[in-house]
Structure 1
Amino acid sequence: MALTDEAIGKIKMMITSGELGPGDRLPKEADLARRLGLSRNSLREAVKALSIIRILDVRQGDGTYVTSLAPQLLLDMLNFVVDFHRDDTVLEFLEVRRILEPAATALAAQRMAAEDIAGLQAVLDSLGDTHDVEALVANDLQFHRLIAVGSGNTVLCSLLDGLSGPTTRARIWRGVTQQGVITRTREQHQAIVDAITIGHADLARSWATVHIAGVEEWLRRAL
């Protein structure tokens, strides 16, 4: 493993130094191994590891390329790992959401275009008078996704996407067991939209914090 780690480190250095950029093809295996002072086996294992985490793209019969290195692509591995969360870690995911989501909401208040804000309002309005908890949660996920996109920060958006899955069941559980949660969620969502509409970043951040913290505090008491 130490030799593979060394090989990974050398390829990483080629990318971070700018010698290899997004979309570039790596030299042939024999040439690259000789140049880096590695065995072909170590290089092969390093390429395999880097392809798993979406740094490299191995194309059969064509060669090995550096991927686009886009945040969404590189954070796919985080989403994969998150899928293995245990129920007793849901509170930790909510804590992280409480840190990140208000920041995304504040950025959205500064950056979202008028038509995107109108789309956000339309999502909220589409819920109507339903008391279907699963419909509410699906709407909630879409609502927060649009805000994350509206932040204009692709890394932050990808992180929040990865964090949404583990908290979905807790949201449904809260909707089923806590009286008045549907009305309260609608009201808080509307307050967030209103703050974003007037471009008040601090107010948007505050309402998002109240909204996420409410789910977290409920879950702490429920557990």
Structure 2
Amino acid sequence: MAVTDDAISTIKAMIVSGELKPGQRLPPEKELSETLGLSRNSLREAVKSLEIIRVLDVRRGDGTYVTSLEPQLLLEAMAFVVDLHQDQSIVEIFDVRRVLEPHAAALAATRITDEELERLRVSLDAVSLTTSVEDLVTHDLEFHRLISEAGGNGYLASLLDSMSGETIRARIWRGITQEGSSARTLAEHAAILQALQNHDPEMARAALTLHIGGVESWIRSALEH
């Protein structure tokens, strides 16, 4: 993650200094990687990250451009990266989720209907390792919401849905920067679904604890860098 962050910071500095202007095309990948002292893989990851948050516009067959925004707006688009590294509240949200969501999953294991299980299966079957980070995060939000609702406690489901929405940017950033995060998410969702299909509350509780704990651990690690 640190190498990708360094690459992003370097490109951002080029935008701030005016070396790269809104609407300007970036130099070819080989030239830019040599200029920045980065491997081409690190540069590609940085470009991908900046494309997702709309700082860069990758035009297939044409090149990569700085988006046609005013410089101050470009900096605002980068703000969520700073937020992730400086705002401790994101850790507190995951800390609370790690306590409450396993309980919601245990409730769901005893109450979930066949129709609700089918909706979870459809949601999981709709994504794969080739799914974009944004679409995978959308699936993740839906998957967790369906489980909370299946638990039958409307207040708890509403509370968890509200907290989950506060972590979207962190989840996207994890998907961009942590190798294997997509495969890990899909495997953990499959394990959660299996526990719910078996109507096993303790396995559902354990699977959710592992899942939320993994993301929380990554957040804590990111905040230390």
Q: TM-score range by the shorter chain?
A: 0.5 to 0.7
Counterpart position of 1:219: 219
Alpha-carbon distance in 1 for matches of 2:116, 2:166: 27
3-state SS of the aligned residue for 2:127? coil
Distance 2:178 2:161 in 1: 25
| Alignment partner of 1:127 is 2:145 | no
1:150 aligns with 2:146: no
Give the drift of 1:128.
3.5
Quick check: 1:167 aligned with 2:167?
yes
Alpha-carbon shift at residue 129 of structure 1 (Å) = 4.0
Mind listing any 5+ residue stretches in structure 2 that lack a counterpart? 1-85
Q: Deviations over 1:99-135 (max 9, x none)?
A: 1100001111100001210111110101134341111
Matched with 1:190 is: 190
Tell me how many residue pairs correspond in the alignment. 138
Distance 1:143 1:211 in 2: 12
Aligned partners of 1:130 and 1:144: how far apart in 2? 21
Q: Provide the rounded CA distance (Å) in 2 between the counterparts of 1:147 and 1:137.
A: 16
Judge which range, 88-97 or 121-130, deviates more. 121-130
Deviations 1:45-92 (A, max 9, x none): xxxxxxxxxxxxxxxxxxxxxxxxxxxxxxxxxxxxxxxxx8321000
Give percent identity, aligned residues only. 49
Q: Unpaired segments of 5 or more residues in structure 1?
A: 1-85
Matching residue's letter, 2:96: V
Q: How does 1:135-146 map to 2 (within 5 A)?
A: 135-146=135-146
SS at match of 1:128: coil
1-side partners of 2:196 and 2:129: how far apart?
Answer: 23
Q: Which runs of 4+ in 1 moved over 2 A?
A: 128-131
Measured in 1, the distance between the counterparts of 2:87 and 2:114 equals: 39
Q: TM-score, normalised by structure 1?
A: 0.60
The residue identity in structure 2 corresponding to 1:113 is: T
Query: Structure 2 length normalisation: TM-score?
Result: 0.60
- Tell me the distance in 2 between the aligned counterparts of 1:166 and 1:91: 11
Structure 2 letter corresponding to 1:121: R
Counterpart of 1:180, as a letter, is: G
Moved more, 209-218 or 86-95: 86-95
User: Partners in 2 of 1:165 and 1:157 — Cα distance?
Assistant: 12
Q: 2:165 is paired with a residue of what secondary structure?
A: helix
Cα RMSD between the aligned structures?
1.1
Equivalent-residue separation in structure 2 for 1:131 and 1:219 (angstroms): 22
For 1:1-223, list aligned pairs within 5 A.
Answer: 87-223=87-223
